[in-house]
Structure 1
């Protein structure tokens, strides 16, 4: 639904840029235009090779400018791009997707625009999935309370996630603790256990305690 004209217009009205998935099955008019543009040589194609550690991949980018989102004179125009990832040895298609954007697409930025479009799944997997399944207990239906409790608990969850992300980027002590307690579930479980029995003056003192007292679990002390 994101690449529908009302959503794109709303984003632009609010001062935002957009990069939205745009599939052939949902945008018949746009892809009819693309067929015409391709026949007239106005769809640009560029290929790049990349080694992923095991095999060579071919990244085939295609893009075109000012294609209509829907039929009619009132249609919004957008720029379109596509990436196809191919195993060079087997010629098997590994990944393919298409996007529309208000950004001008050029030979120099098509790769970056595609990366930005694909980051939607990075945000979902590394953001929403972590909040739901890795210690923050954010439920899919966060319907607690009758007035504002659900919004309050959601805000606390998001603030905790924000500050943990900042600490993970800039705080050396926090980074070392997370290296020891690699999974977020272990991290939260250990915090709850320690704070239940020991009082600490500050978070810094708490983290330093973990670093000083941590004993790696081995076969010899697992019991």
Structure 2
């Protein structure tokens, strides 16, 4: 369907769901046609080994008319302990080479970046987005969804371009604390506008300090 619309693709490809493809990969590996590339990277605490493997024009199904795709895999290993930290594989219609394998893998992994930094934030970190709000008979749930998305959009823009908002988020690091503190202030105090509210937070904020009970 994607190809008919003129799109490219990078899809997760697991052995449990693509048995024919992995049977072909076993054959190609025995014949030296699965290429391996290794790169090392320091993540700030430890050295990681990124082991990339890829092969070209592998059939997805066991029939002559099957679509062929290019396959790649990454395994991330702690160099010191040799423990596998992450492993995943994908299929794509992009040509895979030693020069672009890292970029293709990053694109494949970005799906989870969207999931974790987008949907998860909306559901669990202050916006209270639900699959179905369950309000109203006609369009109220769509309205609430739109307001959630608009607020997330504007907060993202402010985080990029607005100095005052950036300073507020430095003080109230998580979105949950940001929403909770603003909710508490608005419950007990009146502010003429958002600028007035933010100025109050910046001027009155006192960082919490742990008291040593000993």
TM-score, with normalisation over the residues of structure 2? 0.88
The aligned runs of 1:88-103 (5 Å cut-off) are 88-103=79-94
Out of 118, 136, 153, the residue aligned to residue 144 of structure 2 is 153
Shift, 1:174, TM fit: 0.7
Match of 1:70 in 2: 61
Aligned partner (choices 88, 99, 114) of residue 108 of structure 1: 99
Q: Give the equivalent residue in structure 2 for 1:199.
A: 191
> What is the rounded CA distance, in whole Å, between the counterparts of 1:125 and 1:192 in structure 2?
25
Pairing 1:202-217 to 2, within 5 Å after superposition: 203-217=194-208
- Unaligned 5+ runs, structure 2: none
Contact preservation (8 Å) 2:35, 2:53: yes
Q: Distance in 2 between matches of 1:160 and 1:175?
A: 16
Deviation of 1:219 (Å): 6.0
CA shift in 2, pair 1:15/1:174, >3 Å: farther
- Corresponding position: 1:176 with 2:167: yes
- Secondary structure of the equivalent of 2:22? helix
SS of residue in 2 equivalent to 1:84: strand
RMSD over aligned Cα atoms: 2.0
Asked if residue 83 in structure 1 is aligned to residue 74 in structure 2, the reply is: yes
CA distance in 2, matches of 1:145, 1:12: 40
Offset of residue 159 of structure 1: 1.3
| SS, match of residue 13 in structure 1 | coil
Instruction: Normalising by structure 1, report the TM-score.
Output: 0.85
Asked if structure 1 preserves the Cα contact closer than 8 Å seen for 2:132 and 2:141, the reply is: no
What CA distance in whole angstroms lies between the structure 1 residues aligned with 2:134 and 2:183? 24
Judged with a 3 Å threshold, the aligned counterparts in structure 2 of structure 1 residues 58 and 159 are, in CA distance, closer, same or farther, namely same
Name 2:2's counterpart in structure 1.
11
- Residue 61 of structure 1 pairs with residue 37 of structure 2: no
Task: Give aligned pairs, total.
Answer: 210
